[in-house]
Amino acid sequence: MSRQGSVRTAVFSLFSICFAHVVLHARAQANTRGFISIDCGSPPGSGYVDVVTWLPYVSDAQFVDAGVSHNISAEHADMIDLKLPRLYNDLRSFPTGARNCYTVRPLTPGTKYLVRATFLHGNYDGLGPGGLAVFDLHLGVNFWQTVNVSSVSDPFQAEIITVVPDDYVQVCLVGKKGLGTPFISGLELRPLPDTLYTVVANSSLSMAVHGRYNLGPDDEKLIIRYPSDPHDRIWKVLANLRSWNPTNTTGTVRYIAQDQFEAPSAVMQTAATVDDGFSLRFYWDAYESNKELDYFAVLHMAELTRLNSSEARICEIYLNNGLWYSKPFSPEFRYANAVSGMVTGSTEYSFRIEPTANSTLPPLLNALEIYVMVPTAERATDGGDVSAIMGIKAKYEIKKNWMGDPCGPKVYLWDGVGCNYAISSAPRITSLNLSSNGLDGEITTLLSNLTALQNLDLSHNILTGKIPEFLAQLPSLAILDLTGNKFNGSVPESLLKRSQEGALLLRIEANISSISNNQPKGTKRNSNTAVIVAGVAVVVFVLVVVVVIATLCLRRRRTENDPSVRPLNGSNSKEDDGDAVSMQFDNRQFSYKELKTITNSFEKSIGKGGFGVVYLGYLEDGTPVAVKTRSESSSQGVNEFLAEALHLIRVHHRNLVNLVGHCKDGQHSALVYEYMSEGNLQEKLREKTPECLPLTWRQRLRISLDSAQGLEYLHKACTPPLIHRDVKTANILLNGSNLDAKIADFGLSKAFNNDLQSHVSTRVVGTPGYLDPEYYTSFQLSEKSDVYSFGIVLLEVVTGRPPILPESVHIVQWARQRLAKGDIESVVDDNMQGRYDLNSVWKVADLALRCTEQASSQRPAMADVVVQLKESLELEEGCERVHGSYTGSGSGSGDGYAERSDAASQSTQSGRVLDLVSGPAAR
């Protein structure tokens, strides 16, 4: 206690000395390194030096003109200076306005900056967790990231590396309806040399921190930043690693000149390694909300002890089972090496650093950076247009979505505003439609400042006064609609002239009476004529325009309806299902000759289905397909076979194997499906080959959830609904490195009509072990029969065992007995080696038992199964995640995750080698 007190006193006196220094420099805003440090919500004109970094901070008052300052509550304020920077003492909240922006200037255009926004709620509003908020951050007009402040007491940080195109940068907070009041605690800008992070080369692409971790320190709360890192990056400890071994040195770890990352020695001096013979693994998930984003990973490595001649640390780096870095790699003694590169196109990025056979030491990793690439190519609207339109908004009190930049981002384009987006210059406002907005009073002169305006529609308002002369001065104005207002006076000659010359389409109908009635006597006749002349010109012009547009539309419509360009599968009534659209094929009719070509004369058989042999083929564009032929001996008739084909055309879902096309050519008939590269779930669970790693619990859960969603879709979303009738692990196919799962062979399904009956009583083609026991008494199948079969699938997933065990015991009976005694360990597949969240496994086991109840009425519906599986997946992921200790919620949702792997020998599945932007720094 007393020791702490004395430290604080010492700090305080230093602080007082530095304060005067800060006040002098507050105007200049940046210290000598060009750092700009803004404490949001602190009183105007105030400034101080932070006691941890010794960097000067200033109030945000000069950078923002909206929002309300708050202090965080007393109980949270106690943490400040002890645990957290003073920055977090206060904040600015934005209860009004959809988008509020900080404008930070002056900056040097074309400079690379690290921009960091920080957030600590600290119960400033007395609402506790009820006051938490989710909102978006924008960098200028570009989306940066979503901020989800999910804890009152943990700070949240968002960081982006970007090239600033102008002499200022805007950081905007964009609220989301019903998700709380946006707020911000601090804004920090750190210029970076051009040589750092060269993947960010210009302002069109930036990168946001997904995670930046220091590995190996024994203090999990350690934060390394300025001055240890001269660029003031924040390095948090990747903590709670399961069995990684920390190692460290006190010797300095250097980096070469022109190093792309300049990892600070303090970070590189500690590292994590693993036990001999093990590989070092970590992974992260793509953002749930946008799986298309690219990531950039940097793996920092340096040898910390001098190795003797008989020792060697050589490793290979794999990503999602493919070799990521092309050569075996040895970290250098006390020199920072980094392997970095873009990683894309997956939903989970799983890295593995493996020792090579001749390595005597296990792999090591000193630090890790993961970034998400953020496109930032959009530019802000022309400044003159912005101030004019803001004035117009205020004058007419326009209540639309008119907040922030009028033209950008394009998704937030203001209602009624149209813009021209040029490549080399700022967007301009080119059209303004304020028709029927209840505008009253006169036409504002501010319109004359919108100098790029081409189309102005003020029709059907209650505008009064004279039609102003200045409208004729707008150089590009081509269409002016003033119909249905209450103008009086005459139409300005200049406007009439432009209209008569054909340069302007002028519409002023329904103003005529008011204009003529209110005419001063002397000009009445003249203006009436003017109006009529204008009216006639307008009518003729409008007619011409209408005819031209109508012709164009008709032509367009015709092309759209042309059967030759229309997909044949247009009949699916549920195609608007968000999930259903991603993998759409046109159902195509193949000739037998074509099938022969695409399968290279039925060269490669990949299995045997209910109808006959299945062959691998490639479409003209190289897309692999599975061709299911109908064999002569097949019990199913040709017509039945093709009826199924037509039936399937309308079924499209992310988790159902897609029908690409079919063939009926004389004797021959076949169905062509999308090809699933990873085989089926049954093989994955049973086969134990060296190149086939056992599925993790997480993978099993994902596969189960995917297939449950496919079945749910068949049951509920298809019209008429379908019963699969042959749900089994062999009918769950897997694709790609993520093992995306899809249900296959629902070709056996028969449509059943919900209105008449909830079951079908036709011939069953089920599989022993999976068949609903009720069927033996009722000879009827319903959706609940699929639920039963799916319950068996879940039991296989948990246990890794087949439905009929070798000792001829049914899996349900076997599992029920053990689970009834609370004995889950003896049930769970040994191949998972205990690596799962117990609650998650219990939940699935329990769900499987409910699905396999004897009485179908007691089984859940597929929709319920989906919900339960999602919860299980959350349990598992909640358990696996590791958070940085500084924020509690990580940076963004960038939660690194780490685990130790199985023996390193189970490694080399060949896979896609990713594009590397750079390898280890060359010397």
Ligand X SMILES: *[C@@H]1O[C@H](CO)[C@@H](O)[C@H](O)[C@H]1NC(C)=O
- Binding site members for ATP: 628
Beta carbon nearer to ligand X, 360 or 591? 360
- Is 144 in a helix, a strand, or coil? strand
CB of 603 to ligand X, least distance (A): 35
Beta carbon nearer to ligand X, 384 or 409? 384
List 301's β-bridge partners, or say none: 337
Taking CB under 6 A as the rule, does residue 311 contact ligand X?
yes
- H/E element holding 672? strand 668-674
The stretch among 332-340, 368-376, 386-394, 915-923 that binds ligand X (CB under 6 A) is 386-394
Taking CB under 6 A as the rule, does residue 494 contact ligand X?
no
CB of 114 to ligand X, least distance (A): 18
Do 734 and 685 form a contact (C-beta atoms < 8 A)?
Answer: no
Beta carbon nearer to ligand X, 69 or 516? 69
Out of 449, 454, 587, 907, point to the residue binding ligand X (CB under 6 A).
449
Out of 103, 150, 401, 420, point to the residue binding ligand X (CB under 6 A).
150
- For residue 595, the 8-state DSSP code is H
Q: What number of other Cβ atoms are within 10 A of residue 205's Cβ?
A: 16
Residues 531-560 that bind ligand X (CB under 6 A): none
Taking CB under 6 A as the rule, does residue 571 contact ligand X?
no
Out of 270, 320, 366, 381, point to the residue binding ligand X (CB under 6 A).
270
Taking CB under 6 A as the rule, does residue 73 contact ligand X?
no
Out of 356, 435, 597, 906, point to the residue binding ligand X (CB under 6 A).
356
- For residue 716, the 8-state DSSP code is I
CB of 446 to ligand X, least distance (A): 6
Q: Give long-range contacts, CB 8 A cutoff, 24+ apart: 492-498.
A: 492/467, 492/468, 493/530, 494/469, 495/467, 495/469, 495/471, 496/530, 496/533, 496/534, 497/472, 498/472
Out of 104, 388, 760, 841, point to the residue binding ligand X (CB under 6 A).
388
Out of 23, 25, 66, 69, point to the residue binding ligand X (CB under 6 A).
69
Residues 729-788 that bind ligand X (CB under 6 A): none
Q: Which residues are catalytic?
A: 726
CB of 358 to ligand X, least distance (A): 4
Beta carbon nearer to ligand X, 40 or 580? 40
Greatest Cα pair distance in the chain: 111
The stretch among 318-326, 350-358, 562-570, 668-676 that binds ligand X (CB under 6 A) is 350-358
Strands 505-507 and 479-481: parallel
Residues 154-193 that bind ligand X (CB under 6 A): 179
The stretch among 65-73, 625-633, 721-729, 864-872 that binds ligand X (CB under 6 A) is 65-73
d(CA 249, CA 299): 19
Q: Is the N-terminal amide bond of 165 cis, ω within 30° of 0?
A: no
Taking CB under 6 A as the rule, does residue 267 contact ligand X?
no
CB of 562 to ligand X, least distance (A): 38
The stretch among 277-285, 384-392, 597-605, 800-808 that binds ligand X (CB under 6 A) is 384-392
Beta carbon nearer to ligand X, 287 or 615? 287
CB of 626 to ligand X, least distance (A): 36
The count of residues interacting with ligand X (CB under 6 A) is 31
C-alpha distances in Å from residue 233, one per residue of 102, 127, 227, 653, 820: 22, 32, 10, 44, 53
Out of 4, 13, 358, 667, point to the residue binding ligand X (CB under 6 A).
358
d(CA 430, CA 480): 12
Do 154 and 137 form a contact (C-beta atoms < 8 A)?
Answer: no
Closest by CA position to 132, among listed 154, 157, 152, 153: 152
The stretch among 292-300, 303-311, 564-572, 672-680 that binds ligand X (CB under 6 A) is 303-311
- Is 102 in a helix, a strand, or coil? strand
CB of 427 to ligand X, least distance (A): 16
- For residue 744, the 8-state DSSP code is -
CB of 248 to ligand X, least distance (A): 4
Token pair of 613 as six digits:
């042999």
Beta carbon nearer to ligand X, 140 or 612? 140
Token pair of 555 as six digits:
């032509």
Do 800 and 830 form a contact (C-beta atoms < 8 A)?
Answer: yes
Q: How far is CA 706 from the centre of its chain?
A: 19
Residues 188-227 that bind ligand X (CB under 6 A): 201-202, 204, 217-218
Residues annotated in a binding site: 628
Taking CB under 6 A as the rule, does residue 309 contact ligand X?
yes
Out of 73, 103, 228, 248, point to the residue binding ligand X (CB under 6 A).
248
The stretch among 225-233, 307-315, 538-546, 708-716 that binds ligand X (CB under 6 A) is 307-315
- Is 341 in a helix, a strand, or coil? strand
CB of 613 to ligand X, least distance (A): 41
DSSP string of 773-842?
A: TTHHHH--B-HHHHHHHHHHHHHHHHH---SB-TTS-BHHHHHHHHHHTT--TTTS-GGGTT-S-HHHHH
Taking CB under 6 A as the rule, does residue 908 contact ligand X?
no
Residues 668-727 that bind ligand X (CB under 6 A): none
Q: How many Cα atoms sit within 13 Å of 5 on the Cβ side?
A: 2
CB of 327 to ligand X, least distance (A): 7
Out of 322, 391, 409, 418, point to the residue binding ligand X (CB under 6 A).
391
Beta carbon nearer to ligand X, 51 or 134? 134
Taking CB under 6 A as the rule, does residue 314 contact ligand X?
yes
Per DSSP, helices labelled H in 562-696 are 592-598, 638-649, 681-686
- How big is the CA angle at 849 (ends 844 and 851), to the nearest 5 degrees? 90
- Is 200 in a helix, a strand, or coil? coil
Taking CB under 6 A as the rule, does residue 807 contact ligand X?
no
Q: Which residues 6+ apart lie within 8 Å of 12 measured at CB?
A: none
Interface residue list for ligand X (CB under 6 A)? 69-71, 90, 134, 148, 150, 179, 201-202, 204, 217-218, 248, 270, 308-312, 314, 328, 356-358, 384, 387-388, 391, 446, 449
